[in-house]
Amino acid sequence: MSRASKIIGTTVKNANGDDLGDIKELVLNPESGQVVYAVVSYGGVLGLGDKLFAVPWKAMLWTADKEHYVLNVDKAMLKNAPGFDKAHWPDSASKWDQQREEIEQFYHVNP
């Protein structure tokens, strides 16, 4: 187990070791208490122009050395992933649910 404060800010890389960004937030299902998404920030410079991605928690792998998470996607593929910007977060459970199927299909995660 790990505290959310230790996970937020952790680097995300792909299997090739390419830096894909870092975890900005964790999105929980308040009914089950389970983490549903890690919000990963990618691109931009000094936090400007970066895109946020809701990555299914099931798609994230914790490395043995516990230094970063692995997301098995190519950097170019991530640029085309469904995402949002800092000013336009999905603001309700229904919006997260509407996007859930598209996101899970993109990352090849079974519900």
Provide the CATH number for the domain around residue 23: 2.30.30.240
DSSP characters over 16-49 = T--EEEEEEEEEE-TTT--EEEEEEEESSBTTBS
Q: Is 26 inside any structural domain?
A: yes
In this prediction, residue 92 carries a pLDDT of 62
Query: Is the pLDDT score of 49 beyond 70?
Result: no
How confident is the model over 32-42, as pLDDT tens digits? Answer: 989 989 999 98
Model confidence at 45, in pLDDT bands (50, 70, 90)?
low
Torsion, Cα 87 21 80 62, to 10 degrees, reads -120
Residues 6+ apart with CB under 8 A from 25: 8, 38, 39
Q: Is 36 inside any structural domain?
A: yes
How confident is the model over 56-103, as pLDDT tens digits? Answer: 999 999 988 878 999 989 888 887 888 887 877 776 666 667 778 888
CA 13 to CA 27: how far, in whole Å?
20
Q: How many domains does the chain have?
A: 1
Q: Is 82 inside any structural domain?
A: yes
Q: Is 25 inside any structural domain?
A: yes
Q: Is 111 inside any structural domain?
A: no
Q: Is 85 inside any structural domain?
A: yes
Q: Is 109 inside any structural domain?
A: no
Query: Which residues form the domain of 61?
Result: 4-99
Q: Is 107 inside any structural domain?
A: no
